[in-house]
Amino acid sequence: MPRRSQSVNQDLYTKGGIITERDPDFCIVRLRMPAGMISPEQMKGLGEIAARHGIEKIHLTTRQTMELPHVETPKLEVLVDDLACNGTPLGAEREEVVNVTACLGTRYCKFGIIDSVGLAEEIDKKFFGKELPVKVRIAISSCPNGCESERLNEIGITGIQRPIRDPGLCTGCGTCTHYCREKAISVQDGIVVLQQDMCMECGFCIKPCPFHLIRGTDPEYRITVGGHRGRHPKIGRHLIDVKTHEDVIRVVDKIIYWIYRQASSGSLLPEQLDELEFDEFKKTIFRMVEG
């Protein structure tokens, strides 16, 4: 059994953000930081907290949060209180919804289709830390570039936008063909042809049109389920495309409810979905959303 100071509140060790090190007298403290966003004031405060508690380094994680390593167990309670007051509270790591990640989206990125940061903050407020039979990672990419590797998460959300062309007005100049990374657009006999099966619905061909003849559908959200990184990476499977933030929250809510009621502990969610008929899982989620 790990050697732990009797002066430490043992309830702290049930929190996913507290990770025992190889030397059990020390812990790693992981923070909650949806979309990896932190203000300059919080960053400064975090540095001051770390220095005050004798923490020499801060680790930046792959899930857009930070960890304070090698924390002496007697200091945990005061440290956790200090972090909460700084607006950088204790995070999650166990069988629960962990830090929600996102790219910078339409707030900052020229390729963005959806407000991924705002959506991540909304999902974090509703679902972060919810205890489940399995760990659930949620990631959001504002476009199919997939900078957040969202399809390698238990729940992935991708912004998409379909191009709409007016063949009667198009001059066939071919400008859009140079911006299509999938080579899905070609000019044949002076007419632009889109191979729909090759289109990633990224919207990259829309803005460059010099005559503004290419329009885009309203942004949509593609939701995938059952992705995983780790030892045996797996790409999530397409579940549904929806049109609004509210629709995304509703679908994510039903997926998490299904996981809470139906998933079992001891194996990863992708493995459990492999054992089920995915089409049946899909129908179940659809019925729950429609209901």
223-270 pLDDT per residue, tens: 999 999 988 899 999 999 999 999 999 999 999 999 999 888 888 888
Distance CA 216, CA 201 (A): 10
pLDDT tens readout for residues 5-46: 444 566 676 668 999 999 999 999 999 999 999 999 999 999
Distance CA 247, CA 188 (A): 39
Closest-CA residue to 120 (of 244, 249, 255, 251): 249
pLDDT tens readout for residues 141-152: 999 999 999 999
State what percent of residues in the chain have pLDDT above 70.
94
How many CB atoms are located within 10 Å of the residue 279 CB? 8
pLDDT tens readout for residues 105-156: 999 999 999 999 999 999 999 999 999 999 999 999 999 999 999 999 999 9
